[in-house]
Amino acid sequence: MSKKLDGQVAVVTGASKGIGATIAEHLAAAGAAVVVNYASSKAGADAVVERIRQAGRKAVAVQADVSKLADVRRLFAETKKAFGTIDILVNNAGIYEFAPLEAISAEHFHKHFDLNVLGLLWTTQEAVKQFGSSGGSIINLSSFAATSAPPNTSVYSGTKAAVNAITRSLAQELGPRKIRVNAISPGVVETEGLRAAGITGSDFQRQIEAQTPLGRLGQPEDIAPAVVFLASADSAFITGETVGITGSQEEPVGRASRPGGRRSVVFAGQLERGQLGARARQARGKGRFLRRRQWRFRNGGGPTVAHRSVDGHFAGVLAFATARRDDFGTRLGGQLLRRQKQVKIFIVADHAGRRQFFGVRRARP
């Protein structure tokens, strides 16, 4: 039986372990010959190649640091030598190191941008030169940090926001040449790096799982099938898109932002229908209940597009109350609210119809 990527050649950067290795193996299982790129882990890359070959597919390992142009050119020269052409590029290679503002240095900045952004552009330049007249598919690995932008990730999040922008721009530029460009934006995925950082089994893991409706971290196997889909003709009319694979993970509890000139903090998770009134009464019991009202939605009453946005969600306010700081300050868990005597508690419905609570205080004048 023929497979959807039979006869095609894929280059996967950073493919010696983790998400990259799983992507390489899934592409091979779909019929592609795969170039397994690695920067330093030759043993890891060789192991991936061996697993692919044992499954009766073709693969080679090629060392290249994609932050170096000479290495990138050698990577694609070796690809041409091994397989003669290229149809798919997966820009997976990347780095993440978190640092507060005062610890950011030129070395930290360039270490991230040279690999996560410039390296992606260089591999894309070389791949486009080898795509045939039928075009090709480029899949960039982004991150949900591009939009969630957690604290201490300003440089890393900046690189992934750049990846999203580059994806959209190149899709416009390369579309006339039948080259599609898309990105995948994973949430927190359990990989070797996550385990090495001590996150597996930690309170942080439990917090992330509690904020994810599916109740678990992502796995590399959750990401790879989407890459195969974007690489194949099944997605022939999809380009310029960033596909989120996060398990609908919510923002971390206690994270503050400034939508519409306000500071907002999520302090509770999703609510099922019927819980709304109970939580409104609970808020009323903790403070002075102001009023309850249903906002009108612009699209005929469904929870689709509302008049305002709270914490980045299109939302209609269903009820709100005030509560004393002592009742909710600890629960909100942020120093931002400890100096505030009262905080408004908004009950909102987002664009997917889920019920959520947001604790909101107005910014100081």
Residue by residue, DSSP assigns 268-301 as EEEE-TTHHHHHHHHHHHHS-EEEE-PPPPSSTT
For the record, the structure tokens of 161 come out as 């926001």
Buried b (16+ CB within 10 A) or exposed e, 11-26: bbbbbbbbbbbbbbbb
Measured CA angle at 34 (ends 29, 39), to 5 deg = 125
Handedness of CA 80, 83, 87, 92 (dihedral sign): negative
Is 156 a residue of the active site?
yes
H helical segments located in the chain = 18-29, 42-54, 69-83, 106-113, 119-130, 145-148, 154-174, 192-196, 203-210, 220-231, 275-286, 325-332, 335-338
How many other C-beta atoms lie within 10 A of the C-beta of residue 172? 11
Looking only at the bridges linking them, the beta strands covering 33-38 and 59-63 are parallel
Residue 178 makes CB contacts below 8 A (sequence gap 6+) with 133, 134, 135, 136
Q: Map tokens 């990347």 to a residue.
A: 94
Catalytic residue among 38, 76, 156, 358: 156
- Cα 166 from Cα 117, distance rounded (Å): 9
- Cα 145 from Cα 191, distance rounded (Å): 16
Please answer whether residues 248 and 213 qualify as being in contact, where contact means their C-beta atoms are separated by less than 8 angstroms.
Answer: yes
What Rg, from alpha-carbon coordinates, does the chain have?
A: 23
So which residues are the catalytic ones?
156
